[in-house]
Amino acid sequence: MIYRTIYLGNGFGGRIRVALAGLGLACLGQTAASQTSAAGRAARFLGGAATALVSHELGHVVFDLAYGAHPHLKTVHLGRIPFFAVAQRDAVTPRQEFIISSAGFWVGDVTTEWILSARPHLAREHAPFLKGMLAFHTGLAAGYAMAAFARQGPVERDPRGIADNARWTEPEIGALLLAPAALDAYRYFRGGSTWAAWGSRAIKAWSIVLVERTK
C-alpha cells in the first residue's frame, strides 16, 4: 500500500489523520477495482454461456438447412416458462430427424472435449469465458436428461426426437445425455482424470453410432 504523508500544521496528529485518510482511500479504490473485476468476470462467463447457446442452436439449423427442412423459431413452454425452439416447416426422414435433434448435443460434445482436452486444469485457471461455455453445455445436457427421465416438456424437445427415431425410450436417451455431462463435470473439478475422459468420449461416440439404428 503506497500513500503520501502530508503535514497539517506542526502536529504529529495531523500527519496520522492524513495517513489514515490515505489508507482509507486506497482501500476504497481496491474495493471498487475488485467489484469491477468481478463484474467483468461475470460478463465474460455469461458471454461464454451465450456463445454456447448460439452454437447449440446453430447445430440444429445447419442440418435443417442441409436437409431442406426450412427451419424457423417457434415459441414453446416448459410449464409456464416460455422459451423458443428451432422447428422444421417440412417433413424429414427419421434418420434426418435423429441427426437434427442430436446436432446441438454433438456441438456441445465437441466443444467440451476441446476445452477439457486443451485445458484439463481449467477449474484452477482464470478463464471465465471458457467456463461459461462448459457450464452451459454440461448444464443443458443434464437439464434435458432430467426432462427425458420425466418425459416432460414441449413435444419439440430434443431427447424425444432422438428417442423416437433411434427406437430407444426417452429415459434411455436421458441417461446417454447425463452420463457424459457428469463425467465432464468430474473432469473439470478433478483436473484431467484419464478414466473419466475416455469414458465420456466413448459415450459421446456411441451417441453418433446410434445413427445406424435409424432408417
CA 114/CA 118 separation, integer angstroms:
6
Task: List C-alpha distances in Å: 150 to 158, 171, 186.
Answer: 14, 8, 24
Q: How many CA atoms lie within 13 A of 86 on its CB side?
A: 23
Using left for φ > 0, alpha for ψ between -120 and 50, and beta otherwise, residue 148 falls in alpha
Dist. CA 69–CA 32, nearest whole Å: 52
pLDDT at site 55: 96
What are the extents of the domains in the chain?
Answer: 46-213
Residue type, position 120, single letter: P
pLDDT value for 119: 95
Q: By C-alpha distance, which of 64, 61, 74 is closest to 96?
A: 64
Q: What is the pLDDT of residue 89?
A: 74
Mean pLDDT per block of 10 residues along the chain (215 residues) reads 40 49 50 69 96 95 89 67 68 90 96 96 94 97 95 87 91 96 96 92 91 78
CA 45 to chain centre: 9
**What pLDDT, on a 0 to 100 scale, did the predictor assign at position 1?**
38
Q: List, as own/partner pairs, every contact residues 82-88 make where C-beta atoms lie below 8 angstroms and the sequence separation is at least 24, other chains included.
A: 85/154, 85/156, 85/157, 86/57, 86/60, 86/61, 87/156, 88/64
Query: What pTM did the predictor assign?
Result: 0.78
Quote the pLDDT of residue 79. 60
Query: Contact at 8 Å (CB) between 76 and 156?
Result: yes
